[in-house]
């Protein structure tokens, strides 16, 4: 992306690159029918309680999604070679954009079988989505009618947590899509901690960018065969170590195999992930947090991941002066060399390649996080690993996120959150 700074440090004008803007407004209202109760705290104080038995719930969502690519100084040779697009002049301007507006209304009923346990409920509902797409050659209107249900049971003794939920697209743009999820968790004891098993199956239409009507689809045939993703795994968390296992089985994956051509995988893709994390107390104040994930996938598949990804934090932590909650130290992230994706800037998609292996240095960041009552602040100095003395001092030894796309040099970030309670 190429930007031109303006007179203020936080405003820039993009002359070449992607501009994506999302906006969401969410509003929910509930009406409960239930049982009143009261508890005498002492001789002069009574606490009044209400336990819902039936809840009527309405959720309204208004969302807009704006996608734009612009190049004020487009090279006609590059666009012809990479995107088979002819420009009128040798150096010309090129634009691609589309806008989506989604309005959804969700009506649900919740029933609570156990009066004094709001963590156990049964939900059934229906959602209507009205979708407007402002595309390259036309404006299209679509809809989706979605039926959904959920059962949750988090027992009052907090030993069991069961969740089963699903949704089915009964009609509309994505008719036939569904998502089914189930998980069961059990607290064993203080020593062995918690275990959780889960299963998820998603059957979905390919994203609209694989439809020939999309502004970012360059004359490809529409891909309509549904993708199917099966995921299952287990977690074991205790005071000694946290372990996790996930397996993803993907069928009919749609993807871009070069700058603008699309295809759909005919092979079943299997992605296996095994992870572990541990907190080590070096001293009373110094802590060492370790995270590691091992990933295995067929080398010929369009999904590219590093074999090992690690994250390590060494932090000085504690509560000082009663209210100062402090954590400061270094964070190091590293992943093993792998055939990282190429990137197609016009369509905004990563594309698989097998000709170059990306080898990066560890990402190193320094951080200072603290909280005083309701005031929270974080300060981070990131990409310290890019420091270089080759041509004088500077942060120019960049890592690469994708082929020909270096990450930033030194970055300074800060954030503040302050909550006020009346």
CA 14 – CA 317 distance, rounded (Å):
41
Residues 6 or more apart whose Cβ sits within 8 Å of residue 254: 206, 207, 210, 223, 227, 262, 263, 264, 265
Instruction: Check: CB of residue 103 under 8 Å from CB of residue 61.
Output: yes
How far apart are the C-alpha atoms of 104 and 127, rounded to whole Å? 7
3-state secondary structure of 90: coil
- CA 12 to chain centroid, in Å, comes to 26
Digitized pLDDT (tens) for each residue of the chain, 422 residues in all: 554 444 455 556 778 889 999 999 999 999 999 988 888 778 778 888 888 999 999 999 999 999 999 999 999 999 999 999 999 999 999 999 999 999 999 999 999 999 888 889 999 999 999 999 999 889 999 999 999 999 999 998 889 999 999 999 999 999 999 999 999 999 999 889 999 999 999 999 999 999 999 999 998 999 999 999 999 999 999 999 999 999 999 999 999 999 999 999 999 999 999 999 999 999 999 999 999 999 999 888 999 999 999 999 999 999 998 899 999 999 999 999 999 999 999 999 999 998 999 999 999 999 999 999 999 999 999 999 999 988 889 999 999 988 888 999 999 999 999 988 75
pTM: 0.88
Closest-CA residue to 198 (of 247, 143, 154, 156): 247
Tokens representing 380 are: 């981070």
Grouping H, G, I as helix, E, B as strand and the rest as coil, residue 208 is helix
Judged on CB neighbours under 10 Å (0-12, 13-18, 19+), 320 is exposed
């Amino acid at each position: 992306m190429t930007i031109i700074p303006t007179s203020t440090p936080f405003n820039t004008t993009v002359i070449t690159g992607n501009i994506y803007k999302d906006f969401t407004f969410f509003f929910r209202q509930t009406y409960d029918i239930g049982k009143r109760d009261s508890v005498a705290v002492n001789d002069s104080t009574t606490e009044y309680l209400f336990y819902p038995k039936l809840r009527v719930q309405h959720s309204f969502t208004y969302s807009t999604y704006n996608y734009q690519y612009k190049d004020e100084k487009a090279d006609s040779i590059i666009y012809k070679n990479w995107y088979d697009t002819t420009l009128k002049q040798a150096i010309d301007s090129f634009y691609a954009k589309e806008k989506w507006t989604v309005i959804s209304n969700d009506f649900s009923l919740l029933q609570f079988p156990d009066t004094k346990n709001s963590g156990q409920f049964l939900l059934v509902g229906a959602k209507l989505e009205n979708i407007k797409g402002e595309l390259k050659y036309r404006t299209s209107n679509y809809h989706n009618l979605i039926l959904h249900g959920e059962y949750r049971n988090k027992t009052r003794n907090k030993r069991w947590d069961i969740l089963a939920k699903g949704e089915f697209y009964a009609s509309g743009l994505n008719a036939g899509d569904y998502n089914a999820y189930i998980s069961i968790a059990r607290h064993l004891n203080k020593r062995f901690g918690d275990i959780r098993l889960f299963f998820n199956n998603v059957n979905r239409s390919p994203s609209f960018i694989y439809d020939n009507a999309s502004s970012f689809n360059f004359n490809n045939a529409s891909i309509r065969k549904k993708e199917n993703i099966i995921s299952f795994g287990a977690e074991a968390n205790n005071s000694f170590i946290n372990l996790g296992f996930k397996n993803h089985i993907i069928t009919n994956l749609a993807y871009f195999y070069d700058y603008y051509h699309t295809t759909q995988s005919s092979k079943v893709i299997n992605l296996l992930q095994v992870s572990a994390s541990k907190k080590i107390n070096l001293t009373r104040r110094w802590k060492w947090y370790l995270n590691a994930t091992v990933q295995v996938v067929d080398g010929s598949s369009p999904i590219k991941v590093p074999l090992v990804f690690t994250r390590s934090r060494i932090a000085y932590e504690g509560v000082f002066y009663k209210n100062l909650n402090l954590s400061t130290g270094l964070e190091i992230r590293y992943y093993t060399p792998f055939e990282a994706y190429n990137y197609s800037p016009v369509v905004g998609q990563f594309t698989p390649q097998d000709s170059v292996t990306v080898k990066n240095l560890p990402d190193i960041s320094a951080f200072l996080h603290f909280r005083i009552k309701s005031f929270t602040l974080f300060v981070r100095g990131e990409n310290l690993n890019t420091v270089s003395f080759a041509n004088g001092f500077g942060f120019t030894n960049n890592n690469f996120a994708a082929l020909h796309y270096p990450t930033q040099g030194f970055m300074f970030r800060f954030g503040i959150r302050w909550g006020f309670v009346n």
